[in-house]
Amino acid sequence: MALEIMEGSIAIAQAVRRCRPQVVAAYPITPQTHIVEALAEIVANGELSADYITVESEFSALSACEGAVAAGSRAYSATTSQGLALMFEVCFNMAGMRLPLVMTIANRAMGAPLSIWNDQQDSIALRDAGWLQLYAEDNQEAVDLHYIGYRVAEDHRVLLPVMVCFDGFVLSHTYEPVDMLTQEEVDAYLPPFVPKFMLDAKNPVSMGMYATPDYYPEFRYETDLAQKRALEVIREAGREFGEQFGRDYSALVESYRMDDAETAIIAMGSICGTTKEAVDEMRDAGKRVGLVRLRTFRPFPTEDLREALSGVSRVAVLDRNVSLGAGGTVHRGAVVLEVKDALYGEPIPVLDYVIGLGGRDVRIEDIKRVVELCEAGDGDRFYGLRTEVL
Amino acid sequence: MAIDKTCELFDCGHRACGGCGASMAARLLLKASGPETIVVSSTGCMEVFSTPYPETAWKVPWIHSLFENASAVASGIESALKQQGRSEKVVVVAGDGATFDIGVLCISGAFERGHDITYICYDNEAYMNTGIQRSGATPFDASTTTSPAGRVSFGNKHPKKDMPRILAAHGSPYVATASVAYPADFMQKVERAISTEGPTYVQVHAPCCTGWGFDGAKTVAIGKLAIETGLWVNYELVDGEVAKVKKVVKKPVEEYLKEQKRFRHLFKPKLQEEEIAKIQAIADRNFERYGHEIRLPPKKAPEGA
């Protein structure tokens, strides 16, 4: 294993190169730009034999990927925020047509107001589109999830597109030590794409036909079944990755210092790094606190989460998004709704903290404060508001 | 490559209206393209009448994604085929709404990037699938459900957008207009478009008996009248220059208009001479621009008169 200090975006681009996509289609948007610039350079230098389509919009980026995959090629795209929103219609379509892809999301807030900074509102908004959503805590994980992502997406038990989500700027523009697998290692892990159906004059098929009420619900059911099957396929792919390269990703939720924990914090993405530091400090001070990190949001690991939370007295969810209008008179993000669903019937209080929106920094002190608030039963609120500007 | 006219790749049993111009276009274009074709369809009448799951009329590989992204999907397919060393031709088939209006962004991108695709727009001059609403291809004064003729309106207020020129301006090496009323000409143009490298465009006039209001047995006759009156011109633009125009003996526009319910308000309850003159002016400008009027020598007066 050779660690290299690399910017997150560059590491992603290098990982994508090793996945050998034949078609790359992307449109520049901050903070995704370094990925697609690096890939353009890789293609220009002949280090990846791919067609790099410089599309005129994100809408076309994903549409072109859809066409490429339908024609039997592995494809790649990356975007964030407004770009992902512009892809909205294609996202649903690709999942419905069961066309596998890996797309990197450099998570960023949604306008208005315009913000280029990090939260997870963008991918969360695509929650119901049929894509698998994997969230990385650091750049090593972000890189590895691309290999795993293609494995899972293209698995015939799944055949769904995957968003690999990593926090914009916080990870995308940060230098961290990363172990980049060699091409041979990636080739040994990730086989070439074998489509189940494709556009081919030798065997003509019609793809993307319309369905009357006599057929439509069954299509949706089968797509949801594929999400269910993905739970195990992700575990499998993550386990094999661990066996080959020593980093095990078989767990859909990661439990950090959860033994005997009374308070569990639930979070996704880079905020978990800060949270782990906070947990260590609180543990040192004698507090029984742990972190349960969600690696997948779709499919949602309901059973895994229940198991991880068994025995806790209270749960604090850090939501880097807000589900506007949810929760009646209290404030809630999207993650807590899923957590409450997973814990339905359990007498465990679950409190939500809408935190770190639009790039607002979340420090160790903030996590500690959240735990104090949770212990006091004060939650389902925005955390860290500047009341002086309201 | 000779066109195999016996080749039938658009199957019977689809659900288009009797006399549908668009279905004629689909059948003819596949005769011209042959089996080594991947068709990318936009949402629209043709998509709906030809592919109700689990049935399909397409005997070539066919994909439909969305209303407005057919040319972007086609870009990706073409790139993938190139990467895989495959030889199928990529043909987009889309209606005028998908082409003139909602798909312009994707079309512009695909043409500017120079993908080797052929784009066929079947132009029936309104959103027919959703119930005859106006599009950027709807002719001046046509009554549609969103540009209805009324007490203070003569219908669609805008002239038809000049989409062929817009695509020629993108540097397309071959742009043509055609009509289902002239099948051999349309098929030749499709064949030429497909065999020309780069993004090419054929806009085929596809009269819609349901949307325009005429007897479905008259689709070809209506298509011919559009050309003979100068309201539709069949021409080719090779590298942006007019290369060939179908010549006609000019007929007054009334002959075309009076056959269709969408222009009925120009004749009933009273003749709207001013409006018809405006439409005649559009036809006259076409004749001036393309110079395709055949001027017959004046008939001699009968002897003894």
pLDDT, tens digit, 9 for 90 and up, residues A256-306: 999 999 999 999 999 999 999 999 999 999 999 999 999 999 999 999 999
Contacting residues of A for B68, CB less than 8 Å apart:
59
Please report, for the domain that includes residue B120, its CATH number.
3.40.50.970
Nearest neighbour of A93 by CB, restricted to B56, B65, B113: B65
The residue written with tokens 């606190």 in the block is: A289
B238 falls within a domain: yes
* Cα B48 from Cα B67, distance rounded (Å): 12
Q: How many residues make up chain B in this entry?
A: 305
Quick one: average pLDDT of B130-140? 98
pLDDT at B305 over 80: no
- As a whole number of angstroms, the distance between CA B170 and CA B173 comes to 9
Residue type at position A380: D
Instruction: Give the pLDDT mean for A85-93.
Output: 98
Which member of B60, B64, B106 has the closest CB to residue A209? B64
Q: Give yes or no for residue A126 having a pLDDT over 80.
A: yes
CB neighbour class for A16 (10 Å; exposed up to 12, middle 13-18, buried from 19) = buried
Mean pLDDT on A333-341: 98
- A/B interface, count of CB pairs below 8 Å: 160
Give the pLDDT of residue B3: 80
The residue of chain B nearest to residue A200, with distances taken between CA atoms, is: B61
Residue B94's H or E segment, with its range, is: strand B89-95
| Separation of alpha carbons B79 and B83, rounded Å | 6
When pLDDT is averaged across residues B261-265 and rounded to a whole number, the result is 98
H runs (alpha helix) in B62-103: 70-84, 96
At residue B304 the predicted structure's pLDDT band, cuts being 50, 70 and 90, is: low
pLDDT of residue B301: 77
Q: What is the pLDDT of residues B180-226, one digit of tens each?
A: 999 999 999 999 999 999 999 999 999 999 999 999 999 999 999 99
Grade residue B6 by pLDDT with cuts at 50, 70 and 90: confident
Q: How confident is the model at residue A83 (pLDDT cuts 50, 70, 90)?
A: very high
Q: Which ranges in chain A are annotated with CATH 3.40.50.920?
A: 253-382
CA–CA dist A247, A254 (Å, integer): 13
Helices marked H in chain A: 8-18, 33-44, 58-70, 81-86, 88-96, 121-124, 139-154, 183-189, 216-245, 271-284, 302-308, 334-342, 364-375
Q: Which residue spans of chain A are classified as CATH 3.40.50.970?
A: 2-245
Q: What pairs with residue B58 in β-bridges?
A: B10
Contact, A227 vs A132, CB < 8 A?
Answer: yes
Give B302's pLDDT tier (boundaries 50, 70, 90): confident
Question: Which of chain A's residues have a Cβ under 8 Å away from the Cβ of B69?
Answer: 59-60, 63, 66, 90
| Cα-only R_g, chain B | 20
Q: Is residue B244 part of a domain?
A: yes
Q: How many other CB atoms are there within 10 angstroms of residue B246's CB atom?
A: 18
Average pLDDT over residues B47-63: 97
Mean pLDDT of A175-182: 97
pTM for the structure as a whole: 0.97
Number of alpha carbons in the 13 Å side-chain half-sphere of residue A371: 26
Three-class DSSP category at A37: helix
Distance of residue A197 Cα from the nearest chain B Cα, in angstroms: 11
Taking the Cβ of residue A291 and every Cβ of chain B, the question of whether any pair is shorter than 8 Å is answered with no
Average pLDDT, chain A: 98
Would you call A63 and B72 a contact, using CB atoms and an 8 Å cutoff? yes
**Burial label, A149 (beta-carbon count in 10 A; 0-12, 13-18, 19+):** buried
Q: Does B79 sit within 8 Å of A23, measured CB to CB?
A: yes
Averaged pLDDT score across all residues of chain B: 96
Residue B1's pLDDT is 56
Q: What is the pLDDT of residue B298?
A: 87
Distance CA B274, CA B276 (A): 5
Answer yes or no: are the C-beta atoms of A268 and A320 closer than 8 Å. yes
Give a yes or no: residue B200 inside a domain: yes
CATH class (in words) of the domain with range A2-245: alpha beta
Sheet with A206-207: list strands edge to edge. Answer: A206-207, B62-64, B37-41, B89-95, B117-123, B200-205, B174-179, B235-238, B241-245
Q: Is residue B54 part of a domain?
A: yes
The pLDDT of A27-43, averaged and rounded, is 98
Nearest to A350 by CA among A337, A365, A366: A337
Amino acid at B294: I
Number of residues that this document lists for chain A: 390
- The whole-angstrom separation of Cα A53 and Cα A21 is 12
Domain span including residue B151: 21-290
Tens of pLDDT, residue by residue over A219-241, are 999 999 999 999 999 999 999 99
Q: Which of A124, A151, A21 is nearest to A78 (CA)?
A: A21
Instruction: Give me the percent of chain A exceeding a pLDDT of 90.
Output: 99
Architecture of the domain spanning A253-382: 3-Layer(aba) Sandwich (3.40)
In-domain check, residue B280: yes
Q: Please answer yes or no on whether A53 and B108 come within 8 Å at the CB atom.
A: no
* Buried b / exposed e along A210-223 (16+ C-beta atoms within 10 A): ebeeeeeeeeeeeb
Q: Is the peptide bond before A112 cis (omega within 30 degrees of 0)?
A: yes
- Phi, psi values for residue B129, rounded to 5°: -65, -35
ipTM: 0.97
Which residue's entry shows tokens 């007490």?
Answer: B151
A72 closest CB neighbour out of B47, B65, B84: B84
Q: Chain B contact for A25, CB < 8 A?
A: yes
Q: How many domains does chain B contain in total? A: 1
Cβ atoms of A318 and A373 closer than 8 Å = no
- The verdict on B34 touching A (C-beta cutoff 8 Å) is no
